[in-house]
Structure 1
């Protein structure tokens, strides 16, 4: 595992326990370039890969073409994942393309399913050595908010292989790998409700930050966040969530 230790930052800075008054939505508007905007004021064209329209792709749609997982209704993208039938949570993505920047969305847990959650983040399918190009994500769940570096964590193919081998043997992963993976994520408290909220997820250098309603609730530093090209903005939804008014901003 010594060859993996270079993945642990020499200085790991994260904080989820203080009031951070920085407004990342304002930072994006004042310093960035708006590269995509969607208010979902249209109807979907079916249940297929591109049925949402405006450049969105539902990567799991074609697995179960007879089941609607994305419904455009009254300007809202209503996602209802057929996770069991598809063998995968609903995965919906759009082109992005930035080094530093982020996304601003309105979201709501409609209270239609137990344990509603939303995972959103950035992907680079051209990246080798990382499963499906997964880079980094923010996860809003019923138990809190998690920020996670997948690029140099669990989706790194070398690390993924070691974890799979340990699982096959019903053994624990090596202690140094466990230590490494703990540096790749941070969790902050959050109690969700069924109201509309504005969520902002930004990357700036090696830092990932997630804000809700203008307040940074979680921030973390890890080298995978600094990946030079976030090609896709992605939603992963295991049950139900409503999305509205998505903006993607590029700082550089």
Structure 2
């Protein structure tokens, strides 16, 4: 009985953010994405050739990618997936909080110079909130990023841009429990789903960047567990 009550309570907590989302665009349908561009269930002992690691001590154990930041590396562990260029995309990944406070699911373009390190857009997932960001025109815009790094004060216009290019949605997720997180991008609209339920949406111009070609699973500290990564395009 207690198990049923906990499950019911968890469902209510997951549904709670939907009221914040009232009046927002309807969910981008899953069947819009017909072609599987990439998939990995981490059944091999090493990452495949499409993956590269940055500042990472991550490893595959028991069929799971365990994200771990490199000690004294000065940066979160990044697991970068290089793909053919795409614009609209669906990323699905199972993940579990096993110590890290959050993970970033990022979409970038290799060697793009129009934003810091080619960052375009991302979804930040933590146990308490989901943040959707247009980094290309917002936080990773070259001028804004340079000012933030030097701790220079942003203009009121730049502060307004930062507010417009992100959206925050509260959730309540448990640690050491698996969740399926899905990100869908269609044009300038990006949406985040947990276990198939729409959590939040952001519409912003940088999301529509037409030649994304890298996906990142970004882990600060230790550890996020990842499994069953699937990338689909229309």
Flag whether TM exceeds 0.5 (same fold).
yes
Q: Does 1:177 align with 2:152?
A: no
- Number of matched pairs: 213
3-state SS of 1:120 partner:
strand
Counterparts in 2 of 1:80-119, with a 5 A limit? Answer: 80-82=68-70, 84-96=71-83, 97-110=85-98, 113=99, 116-119=101-104
TM-score (norm 1): 0.78
RMSD between aligned alpha carbons? 2.2
Q: Deviations over 1:58-105 (max 9, x none)?
A: 0224xxxxxxx22211211111223x5111000111123311112111
Counterparts in 2 of 1:1-252, with a 5 A limit? Answer: 16-18=20-22, 27-29=29-31, 31-44=33-46, 52-61=47-56, 69-82=57-70, 84-96=71-83, 97-110=85-98, 113=99, 116-165=101-150, 167-168=151-152, 172-193=153-174, 194-239=176-221, 240-251=223-234
Structure 1 window deviating more from structure 2 (224-233 vs 95-104): it is 95-104
TM-score (norm 2): 0.83
Contact map agreement 2:25 2:201 (CA 8 A) in 1: no
Structure 1: unaligned runs, 5 residues or longer:
1-14, 45-51, 62-68
**Distance verdict in 2 for CA 1:155–1:179, change over 3 Å:** same
**Distance verdict in 2 for CA 1:164–1:198, change over 3 Å:** closer
Contact map agreement 1:28 1:249 (CA 8 A) in 2: no
**Distance verdict in 2 for CA 1:164–1:196, change over 3 Å:** closer
Q: How far apart are 1:160 and its partner, in Å?
A: 2.0
Moved over 4 A (4+): 19-24
Q: How far apart are 1:151 and its partner, in Å?
A: 0.3
